[in-house]
Chains A and B, each alone.
Chain A
Amino acid sequence: MTHFDIDKYAYLKSPFHSFDPRAKIICFLFLIFSIVLLNDIKVLVIALISTIILTFLSKIPLLFILKRFKWVALFIFAVLIVLPFTVPGKTVLSFGFLYVYQEGILLACLISLKAFSVMLLIFPMLSTMKFVTFIKTLEHFKLPKKLVQMISFVYRYVFVVSNEFQRALRSVSSRNVGKKSRILHLHVLSNVIGMTLVRSYERGERIRTAMLSRGYNGDMKTLHSFKMTKKDAIKCSLIIIWSLSLHVIVLTKILDVYDTYGI
């Protein structure tokens, strides 16, 4: 059985693990948005370096991050390949009828720098707390109750249901000793899917019964004990200040000053 494991390393100890989840989510979202709004390659490189440092500080193992990076990397790779040829502008290179444009290269770099930074920030933000804590933080931020309950139920039952489905499939394939016919196969598969749906429905009914019998009245209440300390306030402000400084760097053109000196 596999588990949803974004919170696999939530038990580690780091400045981000001890960070109050509300403050953490707010300041990281702030940082993410400010990075997304940047349009200066040099500043984006600085931003990426800072996100790498933040990720490093969170002590989440590199291998864990790399494994989850596969799909983003694939997407970025596609962007890197396609954009230089398709965004028109100044021609830099040409392979026969294919032209490589400078604007395209620039855009591809911008997008991939942003994507990498944002993806990396997910880890110090979300992998340093339990998913349950994340759900509770959403609840705390007054997201619609129904939405939060739904996320929470999906998180709780997705593996129960997928287990049921796999069990049913296994029992079918273990009895499948006769000739293989594709139509029969599809027929059996649809049966298994149908059975899983019916089972889930029945389970839903039983869960409702269990909830009712413990006094459920349409409102799911939980206790949460978030505590904001001075340290949390300092960490939060530091990250927000850093997000703002990225834009200050762009606005004041500090880096361009170096350019004129030939650096």
Chain B
Amino acid sequence: MILMASKKKDVVVKNLSYIYPDDTPALHDVCFEISKGETVALVGQNGAGKSTLLLHLNGVIENENGCITIAGIALNKKNVRDIRKKVGVVFQDPDDQLFMSTVFDDVAFGPINMGFSEEKVKKRVHIALQKVGLAGFEERCPHHLSFGEKKRISVATVLSMKPDILLLDEPTSNLDPGGRRRIIETLKTLKSTKIIASHDIEMLLEICDKAILMDKGRVVGTGKAEDILTNVELLNSHGLEEPTVITLLGDDAVFMIRNNFDSHGIKKHREKIKKATSEAEEKKILSHV
């Protein structure tokens, strides 16, 4: 028992299948486990079922067969409201996520529904906006914001609910490089368990610990992010393409991406490898002698 408790499972999905009302099969026998605090990449080409899976985890789509366990509690009709407090979803299109007329109202929407006092709501909003680097945007209207700002506000609307588990659907799609970088840096600072659905493999490599590869509603690969996301053959066979850096640099690429191409860090990294290999060679020679 003690051994099992040492690695707490935050999300457990077993045998989850789903067919949309119009007979489109979306998920087929999906199984995986995620531990507390992990950042997990959910990769797959368009239509692989990533969004559908995320909607299940938040209980927006009711699971008809299969079993979803969130923080040790099996998700069902009765506890779906409580689960939603624990699991926050950031949807792909910020215009869907931001439905109120001011940024404040939007970020406050979740906390108000959770029944907090006015003071606590204000505090939550303030902290959430600070975390995404947009403090002072409270009174702005969403339709006067840039796409990148809207995207970060979307993240804030969920952060204000302080979810244990954060689900993000394509957080970097349609963003310019600057906006993409800001979102990535924001995500890096968040400590909760995260599931990030995307096909931006470079971004996933930079921030994720684990990866789940999906294709046509099935899970076709799980493992460490750097193993799955650099497996060129695996990616290609499921309609995905590895980032160009991997083609060019091979193993070094993972390190470079993880460190956001920080040239100083890379130099150090190379020296370390050189030293390690030369030491290993020395040892080899010595053992021969």
Contact = CB atoms under 8 A, between A and B. Distances in A.
Nearest to A7: B141
Contacts of A3: 143-144
A223 interface: yes
Contact of B96 (A153, A206, A216, A217): A206
Interface in A187-245: 203, 206-207, 209-217, 220-223
Given A132-B101, A135-B101, A222-B108, A213 B84 contact: yes
A215 B113 contact: yes
Contact of A215 (B97, B100, B110): B110
Contact of B84 (A156, A157, A215, A223): A215
Given A213-B89, A214-B113, A223-B108, A132 B96 contact: no
Contacts of B108: 222-223
Contacts of A223: 104-105, 108, 112, 118, 121-122
B143 A156 contact: yes
B81 A222 contact: no
Contacts of B93: 206
27 contacts: A132-B101, A132-B102, A132-B105, A152-B101, A153-B99, A156-B99, A156-B100, A156-B101, A156-B143, A157-B95, A203-B96, A210-B91, A210-B96, A211-B109, A212-B84, A213-B58, A214-B110, A214-B113, A214-B158, A215-B84, A215-B110, A216-B113, A220-B109, A222-B100, A222-B108, A223-B118, A223-B122
A75 interface: no
Interface of A: 3, 130-132, 135, 152-153, 155-157, 159-160, 203, 206-207, 209-217, 220-223
B110 A209 contact: no
B121 A214 contact: no
Nearest to A225: B118
Given A3-B143, A214-B161, A203 B95 contact: yes
> Interface residue tally of chain B, by bracket?
35 or more
Given A135-B101, A156-B101, A221 B96 contact: no
A160 B95 contact: yes
B65 to A, nearest CB: 21
A214 B91 contact: no
A214 B107 CA distance: 10
A131 B105 CA distance: 14
Contact of B99 (A159, A210, A217): A210
A115 B99 CA distance: 36
